[in-house]
Copies of this chain bind each other. A is one copy, B any other.
């Protein structure tokens, strides 16, 4: 898949039609080319969302603001939130794709599967367990969030900025999971194995 613009859009990656990349606005195509150059392939979500350029731009701007910023949570911890809440929402696309990213960030090949099935049994620190407990409450019962939930986060050293980050990531993927589930979005086959094998020296 050397050139994303020639990627054959297939029905099977989405219930909705996938646009011909050649017809897309330049900035969208540039963003897709960039991820293609970096990853060696184009994650299907880029192709599926591209049919709505304005939504595409807002989605990735939001994603990057939450997932790539500095702060009290590591990038791996942010992905833990995605995998745990996407598992609860049964989002096939997000569990597979963000499971891969989590394995790579953490360099731990088992952690994503553990979190996706039952985060309570995963090999995590007490602080990370508290983080995921809060994230799951935001994902599943946000109307019941109360001051005691914030107090518990503080006991584990999380600041108010961290609490916002956890909640905002869980909320953003509440959206993303629902879009992917509705579109029946299919993860690229490449993601399933990514980060499961020991990295060769020098890699």
9 A-B contacts, Cβ less than 8 Å apart? Answer: A15-B150, A16-B160, A58-B62, A62-B62, A89-B142, A91-B118, A96-B113, A138-B178, A167-B179
Complex: chain B residue closest to A69, CB-CB: B54
- What are the 4 tightest A-B residue pairs by CB atom distance, in nearest-first order? A90-B143, A58-B62, A171-B178, A142-B181
A interface majority secondary structure: helix
Q: Return chain B residues, CB-CB under 8 Å to A160.
A: 16-17
Which parts of A155-203 form the interface with B (CB within 8 Å)?
160, 163-164, 167-168, 170-172, 174-179, 181-184, 186, 189, 192-193, 196-197
Q: Return chain B residues, CB-CB under 8 Å to A54.
A: 61, 65, 69
Q: Return chain B residues, CB-CB under 8 Å to A55.
A: 62, 65-66, 168
* Set B120, B167, B184: member contacting A182, Cβ < 8 A: B167
How many residues belonging to A are interface residues under a CB distance threshold of 8 Å?
A: 64
- The number of times this chain is found in the oligomer is 6
Contact B172 A168 (CB under 8 A): no
Q: Return chain B residues, CB-CB under 8 Å to A19.
A: none
Contact of A143 with B91 at beta-carbon distance under 8 Å, contacts A113-B96, A117-B116, A175-B171 already known: yes
Contact A110 B189 (CB under 8 A): yes
Q: Return chain B residues, CB-CB under 8 Å to A58.
A: 58, 61-62, 65
Given contacts A15-B150, A58-B65, A192-B196, 13 further A-B contacts (CB under 8 A): A52-B65, A55-B65, A58-B58, A58-B62, A59-B62, A91-B117, A91-B143, A95-B113, A109-B192, A163-B182, A168-B179, A171-B178, A193-B197
